[in-house]
Amino acid sequence: MSSAEVEYYAMVDAATRSFGIKNLAAEMGLNLKVVLHTDSSGAKSMASRRGAGRVRHIETKWLWLQAAVAEGLIKLEKVAGEDNPADLLTKYLSRDVILRHLARMSIEACLK
């Protein structure tokens, strides 16, 4: 499986959870928009097109994200890899980058 496919599956999971939050907010009278951010150009491309394309072994149940993007229910935005706080738990980062990501999430690091 390519890294773009893995990122695409993560986007589907995030979209599913986002719709759950959006529906909960709607019950409270709030109208939220779903915007997915990704640092993967390949995954963004997969979500923006229609059909499996070159991906041979994707199941059709995963392609609903493409329809949601095409209908405007989900907006996709590219985020630079160095600005992606999800990288905190997936790869080695320098101390400065870790502190920058934590600050963006309003988390204060207690350093000795």
What is the per-residue pLDDT across 37-54, written as a single tens digit (0 to 9) for each? 998 888 898 888 887 677
Question: Which residues, 6 or more positions from 42, have their beta carbon under 8 angstroms from its beta carbon?
Answer: 2, 3, 4, 7, 8
Q: How far apart are CA 110 and CA 17, in angstroms?
A: 31
The 8-class DSSP code of residue 62 comes to G
pLDDT by residue (tens digit) across 55-95?
666 776 778 898 999 999 999 999 887 788 777 877 888 88
pTM for the whole structure: 0.76
Tell me what pLDDT residue 112 has: 66
Query: Is residue 1 predicted with pLDDT exceeding 70?
Result: no
- Start-end of H helices in the chain: 3-27, 41-48, 64-70, 95-104
